[in-house]
Amino acid sequence: MKIGKVYLVGAGPGDPKLLTLRGKECLEQAEVVIYDYLANPALLEHVRPEAERIYVGRRGRGEYGDQAEINRLMIDRARAGKIVVRLKGGDPFVFGRGGEEAEAVAEAAVPFEVVPGVTSAVAAPAYAGIPVTHRTLASSVALVTGHEDPLKPSPTVEWDRLASTSGTVVFLMGMKNLPAIVAHLTAAGRPATTPVALIRWGTRAEQLTIIGTLADIVRKAEAAKLEPPTVIVVGEVVRLREKLNWFESRPLFGTTVLVTRPREQAGEFADLLAGYGARVLTMPTIAIVPPVDWRPLDRAIGDLARYDWVIFTSVNGVRFFFERLRALGRDARALGRARFGAIGPRTAEALAGQGFKADVVPDEYQAEGVLEAFKKEDVKGVRILIPRAEVARDLLPEELRARGADVTVAVAYRTVRPEADGKALKEQLRRREVGVVTFTSSSSVRNYVELFADRAEASALTANAVVACIGPITAETAESCGLKVGIRSKENTIPALAEAIVSHFAHSSCDV
């Protein structure tokens, strides 16, 4: 039997975007992933569905009696021929016991590779606006464990040197021992006025930073009930935070936004919101699936040469239409002389991705806009195909027929409600942990409301957040379901909705 391999991969400090490219490659190839408390669960999205996932939840407290079990898991899985990723918060070799795990694997004669990660010792301060070195304030930086091995015969931290240096001192895993750390530094001569920063969950959307001095930081930490994981930064560079605090100054920082888009389409929206500083909670209320019966669309595709126009009213319509076209063994030549309409720029982009330019893209990205754009066209006797969702507004085909067009509507896809944890969502809404609930279609609204006992419960709990809708049609559906809409995008696009949310909170903060 061939032997596998162990990859000790640094998961980075928390922000999933800070994973290295090599780390991502290892996760994609992994057959077994052994991960701990500090590794962001979002990183598991890079792992194949069939891979084994083993959580070894290390929270940095108490004894570490499970390390031998972790070593055994890595070695046994690799000896069974598996590709094993040991995913560790930060960098494996910076107070992560990665050296010990590498030793165990090496002694077992198992091949291994170390993939460094971005350490929280540098990244968390950077996200708090604190450079650990600075040309005029700190020419050196010391990384110190805040939790020495209790089995050591005597402590080895050189407090006299740490107190006398003019450089920066960063403590990891030290929150539990903060009073002792402060006492040691001051007893060794570090001035009580020395600035200190405590950064909890650095680089993540829930990052919390507390600033003080050696004289008062313990009291401030106790008042805030601060817990691990927290990075402690001691030194003059902490003063730069007032000028360099970029991460926590972003417009949506501290706001949790619920995204209800289909899972495969949520990424763009989530990235935009995260870029503005939001904590994004993804819970799809709709899933896009094929139609129950392909025959109507198949007939239309079989007769494509007769159509003068094909009008797409969504990106999904484009996707499913062309997937079905190819599934039937046909290609672009089947479209003959047809011209194309797209309801908006994103649909036009999807169409361009299939090799076709939209001949009509309205200024208003909804059915009314398409009808307005077609006023310039004489559609009497013109054959038009509209591949669309099973449930959709009939305004467009009915109005085109009223103008004399021969319109065929073919179902290209359906929207269904996927399984969702409604109980957890209700609890988060009750605790006011969700700041914004977003909807990008009428279907997403209706399916969201179905997660509750009735419309009254949906209305009452959702009132604890701001409802944000893409365009007027989605907003009308939300209000008809008893939800009060607080944010409406001017355009029916995802970037416009993200900008509308930012604008809402910017104006809210100005009113305070």
Domain identity same for 27 and 175: no
Peptide bond into 387 cis (omega under 30): no
Q: How far is CA 131 from the centre of its chain?
A: 26
The reply to whether 476 falls in a domain is: yes
Q: Does 265 share its domain with 152?
A: no
392 and 280 co-located in one domain? no
Spatial contact of 73 and 53, defined as CB atoms under 8 Å apart: no
What phi, psi does 342 have (nearest 5°)?
A: -130, 135
Q: What is the 3-state secondary structure (H, E, C) of 317-366?
A: HHHHHHHHHHHCCCCHHHHCCCEEEECCHHHHHHHHHCCCCCCECCCCCC
Three-state DSSP class for 486?
strand
298 pLDDT higher than 80: yes
The answer to whether residue 250 is domain-embedded is no
Distance CA 440, CA 232 (A): 41
Task: Say if 373 falls within a structural domain.
Answer: yes
Domain span at residue 488 reads: 256-286+418-511
CATH number at residue 60: 3.40.1010.10
- Residue pLDDT, tens place only, 219-234: 999 999 999 999 999 9
Classify residue 249: in a domain, yes or no. Answer: no
Residue 9's nearest CA partner among 123, 143, 118, 107 is: 118
State which H helix or E strand residue 409 sits in.
strand 406-416
Separation between Cα atoms, residue 97 and residue 95, nearest integer Å: 6
In tens, the pLDDT along 50-108 reads: 999 999 975 544 444 489 999 999 999 999 999 999 999 999 999 989 999 999 999 99
pTM of the predicted structure, to 2 decimals: 0.81
Q: Which of 91, 117, 143 is the last residue of a domain?
A: 117
Measure the CA–CA gap between 337 and 385, rounded to whole angstroms.
13
pLDDT bracket for residue 419 (50, 70, 90)? confident
Interatomic CA distance for residues 273 and 287, integer angstroms = 21
Indicate if 36 and 71 belong to the same structural domain.
yes
Dist CA 444 CA 418 (whole Å): 11
335 in Cβ contact with 387 (< 8 Å): no
Which of 117, 138, 167 is the endpoint of a domain?
A: 117
Beta-strand relationship, 195-200 and 208-213? antiparallel
Q: Which of 286, 287, 294, 367 has the alpha carbon at shortest distance from 328?
A: 294
- Asked if residue 512 has pLDDT above 50, the reply is no
Instruction: Please indicate, yes or no, if residue 343 is contained in any of the structural domains.
Output: yes
Number of domains the chain contains:
4
Looking at the fold, whether 368 and 385 belong to one and the same domain comes out as yes
For residues 18 and 113, membership in a common domain is answered with: yes
320 and 269 in one domain? no
Task: Let me know if residue 108 belongs to a domain.
Answer: yes
CA 159 to chain centre: 41
Q: Does 136 share its domain with 189?
A: yes
78 vs 31: CA distance, rounded Å: 10
**Claim to verify: residue 35 and residue 56 sit in the same structural domain:** yes
CATH classification of the domain holding 394 = 3.40.50.10090
Q: Are residues 17 and 158 in the same domain?
A: no
* Same-domain pairing of 314 and 168: no
Report the candidate in 335, 427, 436 with the shortest Cα–Cα distance to residue 387: 335
Identify the residue whose tokens are 């015969």: 153
Rounded mean pLDDT, 26-45: 95
Amino acid letter for position 104: A
Burial of 76 from C-beta contacts in 10 A (0-12 / 13-18 / 19+): middle
93 is a domain residue? yes
Which DSSP string corresponds to 213-268? ETTTHHHHHHHHT--SSEEEEESGGGGGHHHH--STTSTTTT-EEEE-S-GGGHHH
Q: 40: closest CA among 11, 70, 61?
A: 11
Flag whether pLDDT at 150 surpasses 70: no
pLDDT above 70: residue 153: no
Which whole number is the average pLDDT over 159-176?
94
Specify the CATH number for the domain of residue 163: 3.30.950.10
Greatest CA span in the chain, whole angstroms? Answer: 93
Average pLDDT value for the chain: 92
Tell me the pLDDT tens digit for each residue of 129-144.
Answer: 999 999 999 999 999 9
Question: Same domain for 299 and 402?
Answer: yes
* Confidence (pLDDT) at 301: 95
Task: Give every CB contact of residue 132 below 8 A, 6+ residues apart in sequence.
Answer: 121, 122, 125, 126, 138, 141, 168, 170, 233, 237
**Residue 391 one-letter amino acid:** V
Stretch 203-219: mean pLDDT: 97
**Tokens read off for 211:** 């600033």
Q: Is 334 contained in some domain?
A: yes
Separation of alpha carbons 508 and 502, rounded Å: 10
> Per-residue pLDDT averaged across 37-59, rounded?
90
Q: What is the pLDDT of residue 64?
A: 46
